[in-house]
Amino acid sequence: FPSLLKDIVGAKEHEVVVMNQLTVNLHLLLTSFYRPNKQRFKIICEAKAFPSDQYALDSQAALHGFDPAEAIIEVGPRPGRQDIDHEDIINAIQSHANELSLVMFSGVNYYTGQVFDMASICKAAHEAGALCGFDLAHAAGNVELQLHDWDVDFACWCSYKYLNSGPGGVAGAYIHERHAANTQLPRMAGWWGHDKEERFKMDRHFKAIPTAEGWQLSNAPILSMAAHKASLDIFAEAGMDRILHKGKQLNAYLQYILDDINAHQPEKLIDIITPRAEGMRGCQVSMLMLKDGKEIFQELGKKSVIADWREPNVIRVAPVPLYNRFEDVYRFGEILADML
């Protein structure tokens, strides 16, 4: 699995492992990489991150005896905006440098589809003396990732979005080699992370595998792994460069279609809240519906359009390069325009 995933996330083979579910992996990684003390205990994250991440961060802060309201600093959009200004993220890191333990962001915000500048966020975190991790649920298989070159400390992701491995599919994690090789790094240990050569000797003392595999707990779920491998084999055959190139074209075409629909309405009905700049978007386009959003979403479903709804009034659509065609985008535009 690491040999198939390394090019998708931009890592070395020994920095990647497939295991568990996303939030389980996030907790395992936070156990190792969120090591607060009285001076450095704060975490910077994005406002309106996926709730499971927020729950994980809150509970980790509380487990260490800190009030989450004091420990966690959320960087949000400026008034009248939905996306987060990159300058505000860097300023927050620099402003709290003396108290900062961890910077934990999404690679792609689940709600707006905004792609964050992970390389410069990580650089700023390290300059502040903090570690940096990412939730790549909406990034893995969707946007370019170079985790090792960006010097990211850790990351985790699921496999049931762009990695096409089915709901509840097995998740993945990345740990930079400087940490993965440190077998003394504190962690929640289990027998599947024990030295493979000695695992079945049933020794009393844990001896970590000196790779990302050292964070494994239990035997892998074989059926989920089989589905995941089938998808990763297709990624390897297609090649990430080609996938990313087509994804950008599909997204640009979708935004063109939506702009054209708006232009032909008596009043604006759709506000695209996903950033337009190429480096700040992946496959996803989030449409803030200005009128009758829930009804439109339900009608789309009746016409076999697979999108999803996020409160209070957003429809998310994402043409995916492995199985969507430009004709699909055109047909979606026709269906939506007819409804409006």
CB 158 within 8 A of CB 18: no
The pLDDT value given to residue 174:
99
CB 152 within 8 A of CB 118: yes
Question: 186, exposed or middle or buried, with CB in 10 Å at 0-12, 13-18, 19+?
Answer: exposed
The pLDDT value given to residue 313:
93
Give the separation between CA 134 and CA 105, rounded to whole angstroms. Answer: 5
Q: Name the domain count of the chain.
A: 2
CB 279 within 8 A of CB 322: no
Same domain, 274 and 205: no
Last residue of a domain, one of 183, 218, 237: 237
3-state secondary structure the chain: CHHHHHHHHCCCHHHEEECCCHHHHHHHHHHHHCCCCCCCCEEEEECCCCHHHHHHHHHHHHHCCCCHHHHEEEECCCCCCCCCCHHHHHHHHHHCHHHEEEEEEECECCCCCEECCHHHHHHHHHHCCCEEEEECCCCCCCCCCCCCCCCCCEEEECCCCCCCCCCCCCCEEEECHHHHCCCCCCCCCCHHHECCCCHHHCCCCCCECCCHHHHCCCCCCHHHHHHHHHHHHHHHHHCHHHHHHHHHHHHHHHHHHHHHHHHCCCCCCEEECCCCCHHHECCCEEEEECCCHHHHHHHHHHCCCCCEEECCCEEEECCCCCCCCHHHHHHHHHHHHHHC
The pLDDT value given to residue 145:
98
* Residues 6 or more apart whose Cβ sits within 8 Å of residue 2: 13, 14, 15, 16, 17, 18, 212
The pLDDT value given to residue 252:
95
Same domain, 261 and 167: no
pLDDT digits (tens, 9 = 90+) for 5-25: 999 999 999 999 999 999 999
Give the separation between CA 178 and CA 195, rounded to whole angstroms. Answer: 18
Same domain, 70 and 209: yes
Same domain, 195 and 107: yes
pLDDT digits (tens, 9 = 90+) for 91-122: 999 999 999 999 999 999 999 999 999 999 99
The range of the structural domain enclosing residue 48 comes to: 2-237
Please, what are the averages of pLDDT over each run of 10 residues along the chain (340 residues)? 94 98 98 97 96 97 97 96 96 97 98 97 98 98 98 98 92 98 95 92 92 96 95 96 96 95 90 92 95 94 94 95 96 93
**Residue 265: how many other CB atoms lie within 10 Å:** 12
Same domain, 40 and 94: yes
Same domain, 244 and 233: no
Last residue of a domain, one of 211, 237, 263: 237
Give the separation between CA 318 and CA 129, rounded to whole angstroms. Answer: 37
* Residues 6 or more apart whose Cβ sits within 8 Å of residue 189: 206, 208, 217
Last residue of a domain, one of 172, 202, 237: 237
pTM of the model: 0.94
The pLDDT value given to residue 16:
98
The pLDDT value given to residue 266:
87
Same domain, 141 and 11: yes
Strand 131-135 versus strand 154-157 pairing type: parallel
The pLDDT value given to residue 281:
94
Same domain, 134 and 274: no
**CATH number, domain with residue 256:** 3.90.1150.10
Same domain, 215 and 306: no
Same domain, 233 and 245: no
Residue type, 101: S
**CATH number, domain with residue 22:** 3.40.640.10
Same domain, 195 and 254: no
- Going from the C-alpha of 218 to that of each of 19, 35, 94, 326, the distances in angstroms are 9, 24, 39, 43
Give the separation between CA 236 and CA 10, rounded to whole angstroms. Answer: 13
Same domain, 160 and 201: yes
